[in-house]
Amino acid sequence: MEAKTSAEVSKVSKLAENIIGSEIIKLAAEVNEKIRNGQHVYNFTIGDFNPKLFPIPAELKQAILDEYLADETNYPAADGMLVLREAVSKLLKERASLNYAVDEILIAGGARPVIYSIFKTLVDEGDTVIFPVPSWNNNHYSYLNHAKQIKINADPESNFMPTVKHIKPYIQEASLIALCSPQNPTGTVFTKQGLEDICDLILEENKRRGEHAKPLYLMYDQIYWALTYGNTQHYNPVSLRPEMRPYTVFVDGISKSLAATGVRVGWSMGPKLVIDKMKSLLNHVGAWAPKAEQIATAKYLSDLKRYDSFLALQKQKLHQRLDGFYKGFTQLKSEGFKVDVITPQAAIYLTIQFALHGMKTESGQVLATTKDITKYILDEASVAIVPFYAFGADENSSWYRLSVGTCKTEDIEGVVTNLRKALKKLS
């Protein structure tokens, strides 16, 4: 192989040279360009909240201001302020039936540093990580850790949640299984039986490895667990199978439940050995949640009835939007258009399908790829949504994520009307 010329030699590390940017951010840039040019776009791409529609709790906002006025602006404790870890421990016990002591809880600046530190703590270079696709960013975290990726292609029959059937063939080579429920991007959840089966598989594998081998760990991201609708229930591995406690590391926080994505307060709980190592790692990164926000969050969580009241209103507002779009897509499907939708279960996402591959536009263009379809929907219906390939699924998957955190209820009818007009133009 010929040596690179001086002009071809990378000026940065191999990791930085080959890192892939977020597909969602790329799509959002295209949408924002249209908006800057004066076009009205229904933008449902980003998994975030419009603070004008979904503000954080007023009491939390005031508590944050109070803590800054009280000069709580120096370094927080490396593993998080004790008062917040105590509040989180109480929240988990009383609302999730999980018993974690304060030294088994780590506070960080949102869920992302938690996920990063879990990967760095549990996965060596060359280790295998199993995760479903579509799912959020597991491919990127695996890349940052130089891990081998086993992508499980989940399907609509299981609401895009992975099953034992998907995971079992690869279980013996894995170091980490990364799961999320409620799931981003699908807004669906594990059934009790489905999660129990996966837990039993992990327990069986760790028994096979024995106590002297590196165990198989489960990263369980439940950042959306408070946002379930109707009869949907959230399940977690440790409550279902207490024997999973030594092998399970959770991802959690207030980002979604309290619409506090920019407040940056997240946490992890798990085996003390793992949590201690994650603490040491994040101490060097400096990925702490700000001290004022930590103390304010602790004060807010001290009254769980107040927390419950906020959640009830939050869930009502979100489900109103999800259900509105669900009914709209169900109507479009009944009219014969090639769309589909999965019943909303949780989170802020609706899974929708545009099975339009091979159809022609009025100008005669064939919608040959998912990118063609995505662009058509954006150009003709002014609706921006994220294809599942942005979450690791097949490039020509016809399924999409619609995020409602920035949606006004009065927009739903306009979106469905626009889609109907755009779909009628296809042949």
Domain ranges of the chain: 14-54+309-424, 58-303
Q: What is the pLDDT of residues 115-166, one digit of tens each?
A: 999 999 999 999 999 999 999 999 999 999 999 999 999 999 999 999 999 9
The H or E element that residue 304 is part of is helix 304-334
Q: Quote the radius of gyration of the chain (alpha carbons, Å).
A: 22
Residue type, 64: I
Which residues in the chain show pLDDT less than 70? 1-9
According to the model, what pLDDT value does residue 148 have?
A: 98
First vs last C-alpha separation in the chain: 50
Beta strands in 156-222 (DSSP E): 174-180, 217-221
- 364, two tokens: 């005669």
Question: Options 1.10.1060.10, 1.25.40.10, 3.40.640.10, 3.30.70.260; which CATH number does 58-303 get?
Answer: 3.40.640.10
Instruction: Report pTM.
Output: 0.95
Phi, psi of 309 (to 5 degrees): -65, -40
Cα 1 to Cα 197: distance, rounded to the nearest angstrom: 49
According to the model, what pLDDT value does residue 343 have?
A: 97
Phi, psi of 400 (to 5 degrees): -140, 160
CA–CA distance from 241 to each of 25, 150, 164, 191, 370 (Å)? 38, 25, 16, 14, 40
According to the model, what pLDDT value does residue 381 have?
A: 97
The H or E element that residue 64 is part of is helix 58-69
Instruction: Return the ∠ at Cα 103 (arms to 97 and 107), rounded to 5°.
Output: 85
- DSSP H helix total and E strand total for the chain: 14, 13
Phi, psi of 52 (to 5 degrees): -75, -30
3-state helix, strand, coil in the chain (%, to 5): 45, 15, 40
* Domain 14-54+309-424, CATH homologous superfamily name and number: Aspartate Aminotransferase, domain 1 (3.90.1150.10)
Q: What is the pLDDT of residues 298-311, one digit of tens each?
A: 999 999 999 999 99
Cα 130 to Cα 109: distance, rounded to the nearest angstrom: 25
Checking DSSP bridges between strand 339-341 and strand 349-354, what pairing results, if any? Answer: antiparallel
